[in-house]
Amino acid sequence: MSLNSMNAVKKDFFHSTGAFVRICLLAALFILPFSALAVPASEDFNNPANPTATDATLAQGDWTLGFINNGIASDQGFFSINDDGVSGDLGADPDFYLIAMGTLNATDGISITPTTDPDPFQLDSLNIAKGLFGETALTVQGVSSGGVVASMDVTVTSDNLSQLVSFSGNQWNSLDAIRIVNASGNDDFDIELDDLAVSAPATGVSPNLSINPLAAVNAEGNSGTTAFTFTVIRSGNVAGASSASYAVSGTGANPADAADFGGSLPSGTVSFAATETSQVITINVSGDTLAESDEAFTVTLSSPSNATLGITSAEGTIQNDDTTLAIAATSAVNAEGDAGNTAFTFTVTRSGDTTGASSAAYDVTGTGTNPADAADFGGALPSGTVSFAATETSQVVTVNVSGDTLPEQDETFQVALSAPTGATLGTSTAAGTIQNDDVPNITNVTIPNVPMQVNDVVNVTITVDDDGGDVYTNLSGTIGGFALSNLARSNSTTYTATFTVTEGGTNVAAGSDIPVSVRLQSSTLVDSNLYNTPISQGSDPIVARTPGAAIGVPVLNPMLIGLLTGLLGLFGVRRINSHKE
């Protein structure tokens, strides 16, 4: 072989060898990470550590178990060893037994986190049983990058048997930790655990996208926009790009609507470049000064590309931070009374954000066709300020009305709020009605002291207390049995009426008392007193019957009397003449 040939062979050999080495190195880059994954080992809990009665965390094998609480000091949890199985459910081996007490909520429970092997793992199965408190509703959550990417509700139905819970799907494939939370909402929560089975994440599967609230419970603000944020976590194989659509919708008893987001419900796309594991979706909420209930909305993922969906929705809450003052009548339709003051009350209610102080001015004005005036309130129309300290939600405004004995029409007024501080105004006015409780009072009734005969129209004078301008409109009653009519007002203390002496009425002799029964009625249909003091007729009678009528003697027509007289005369002359013959 020539020297050149040998050099060519050597060159080809080293070239080929270099290529092989490069291939091996590249293969190692892909193979070594999977072969060297520090996946935590499954745990059967057959030889658990011995916790004290106050341990809120416990190390066991490759895992650390901890109690999750919501930050309330009264919440507490600790682990114990259940040597016999409290429920007789997990066999002869001792089991972990968690007891958690306090004011627990749906975020309280157990965290199960790898201690020394931090690489992602796949959750395969877990044995769960009820404890002493009979916990039945649990939620098992898978956690990745600090967010929940998988969730399963579990109902434990037997006191005597453990329940093997199996997990499948991409969302359980690449986890950092496990949570078991108190889905039932019981104040006391306890469960037993056994046989936690995990494995290395499966390869060649699509990444998982899950959404979690990040800063999604906020006050809306009074203007501009407030950012509500949500984290979309991508777990599993993140070598390529992924994306998904998202859309906002109102949810719950008080759903947010388009106006809360500037006029339209937000939507868009969340995208991941290769190796990216999280993205933030920002939803801008428009501020306002309208006091309203807290409103809820949901951000929902859909239409994933190069991914599957795990937790598809997360909720946001728009907290009202506005304060509204509104006034309403409480006891504001009352009789005024005859003296002193009568309290008319109005309640001012504060709603919305009551964490600070608020106030407003109030003023009283007369309203309607019969407006109250300063005299009704002791000489000046009331005004003042209603104030609220932090957390106070209602105050009472009292308006004092002066009593009197003057008959008058009902009067109306309103209390109006203005110039609010630390609040806006809702219903700003409320009405009050001062009811007249004074009746017309008749003090005297007189008629002329003259002879009265059939068909005479007799004028009657009725004297009253000052009517206060409330003209009396109705009259009822009789004088001497004759009906009264034609009521007319002369002035505030004098009214007139008439009656007609009619045939067949009762004669009243001179010097006798004439019976009286008279009542007036105000324009508001308030009756006066019944005046029934008789009138002394003095020297002139009321003649309502022809003489003799009172003893039953028929009253004859004068023409008839003349005719009878003539006939009797003729009859008498004829008798005389007959005797002469």
**Letter for the amino acid at 245?**
S
Each residue of 186-205: pLDDT tens digit?
666 667 777 899 999 888 88
Q: Are residues 415 and 483 in the same domain?
A: no
Tokens of residue 74, six digits: 């009264």
- Across 65-69, 96-100, 204-208, least confident range: 96-100
Q: Is the dihedral of CA 141, 143, 146, 149 positive or negative?
A: negative
Asked if 355 contacts 390 with a C-beta cutoff of 8 angstroms, the reply is yes
Q: Would you give the distance in Å from CA 104 to the centre of its chain?
A: 27
Q: What is the pLDDT of residues 483-495, one digit of tens each?
A: 999 999 999 899 9
With the C-alpha atoms ordered 228, 233, 238, 240, is the resulting torsion angle positive or negative?
Answer: negative
The predicted structure's pLDDT at residue 272: 97
Mean pLDDT of the chain: 81
The answer to whether 141 and 151 have CB atoms below 8 angstroms apart is: yes
Per-residue pLDDT reduced to its tens digit, 514-532: 899 999 887 766 778 899 9
Say what the pLDDT of residue 84 is. 44
User: Would residue 416 count as lying in a domain?
Assistant: yes
Average pLDDT over residues 30-50: 63
Angle at 186 between CA 184 and CA 191, to 5 degrees: 75
Statement to judge: residues 338 and 425 lie in one domain:
yes
Output the domain CATH number for residue 505.
2.60.40.10
Does residue 236 sit in the same domain as residue 167?
A: no
- On whether both 279 and 377 belong to a single domain, the answer is no
Query: Over 50: is that where the pLDDT of 19 sits?
Result: no
pLDDT at residue 43, as a whole number: 83
Confidence of residue 376 (pLDDT cuts 50, 70, 90): very high
Does residue 333 lie within any of the structural domains?
A: yes
Mark whether 334 and 255 lie in a shared domain: no
Task: Read off φ and ψ for residue 89, nearest 5 degrees.
Answer: -110, -30
Calculate mean pLDDT across residues 48-71: 69
pLDDT over threshold 70, residue 102: no
In which residue are the tokens 């809120």 written? 56
Higher per-residue confidence, 183 vs 227: 227
Sign of CA dihedral 256, 259, 265, 270: negative
C-alpha–C-alpha distance, residues 493 and 520, integer Å? 13
- Whether 331 has a pLDDT exceeding 80, the answer reads yes
* Boundaries of domain holding 352: 324-435
CA distances from 395 to 351, 378, 391, 432, 505 (A): 12, 23, 12, 17, 67
Tell me, yes or no, whether 387 and 461 share the same domain.
Answer: no
CB atoms within 10 A of CB 277: 16
What pTM did the predictor assign? 0.60
Pick from 272, 296, 319: which residue ends a domain?
319
Does residue 52 belong to any structural domain of this protein? no
Lowest pLDDT segment from 350-354, 365-369, 397-401 = 350-354
Report if residue 79 sits inside a domain. no
**Residue 508 forms part of a structural domain:** yes
* Domains: count for the chain: 4
pLDDT computed for residue 516 by the predictor? 94
Using an 8 Å Cβ cutoff, are 180 and 142 in contact?
no
The average pLDDT across 264-287 equals 97
Phi-psi region of 264 (alpha: psi -120 to 50; beta: other; left: phi over 0): beta
**Most confident by average pLDDT, 10-24, 84-98, 387-401:** 387-401
- Is 331 within a domain? yes
Per-residue pLDDT at 498 exceeds 80: yes
- Confidence class for position 394, pLDDT limits 50, 70, 90: very high
| Domain termination residue (choose one: 267, 299, 319) | 319
Whether the Cβ atoms of residue 231 and residue 147 lie closer than 8 Å to each other: yes
Q: Is 369 helix (H, G, I), strand (E, B) or coil?
A: coil
Q: Apex CA 71: angle with CA 66 and CA 74, to 5°?
A: 90
Cα gap 531→520, rounded to integer Å: 9
Residues 458 and 475 in one domain: yes
Residues 284 and 181 in one domain: no
The mean per-residue pLDDT over the stretch 8-18 comes to 42
**Which tens digit of pLDDT belongs to each residue from 426-445?**
999 999 999 988 777 899 99
- What number of CA atoms fall less than 13 Å from residue 273's CA on the CB side? 0
The order of strands in the sheet holding 109-114 is: 57-60, 63-68, 109-114, 177-182, 137-144, 147-155
Cα separation of 115 and 367, whole Å?
Answer: 77
Contact 407, 439 (CB under 8 A): yes
Does 328 share its domain with 288?
Answer: no
- Domain end call among 259, 289, 319: 319
pLDDT attached to residue 101: 53
- Give me the pLDDT at residue 48, please: 61
- Residue 192 in contact with residue 100, Cβ under 8 Å? no
In a domain, 452, yes or no: yes
In the prediction, which pLDDT does 445 show?
94
Q: In the structure encoding, which two tokens stand for residue 343, read together? A: 């309290």
In terms of pLDDT, which residue wins out, 102 or 339? 339
Same domain, 363 and 418: yes
Read off the DSSP letter of residue 527. Answer: B
**Residue 33 counted as domain residue:** no
**Structure tokens given for 425:** 């105004």
Say if residue 38's pLDDT is above 70.
yes
pLDDT digits (tens, 9 = 90+) for 75-100: 555 555 444 444 444 444 445 555 55
**Average pLDDT estimate for 97-112:** 66
CATH number of the domain at 241, please.
2.60.40.2030
Please tell me the distance from the alpha carbon of residue 291 to that of residue 322, in angstroms, as a whole number: 5
Please tell me whether residues 450 and 430 are part of one structural domain: no
> Per residue in 293-318, pLDDT tens?
899 999 999 999 999 999 999 999 99
Of residues 485 and 553, more confidently modeled: 485
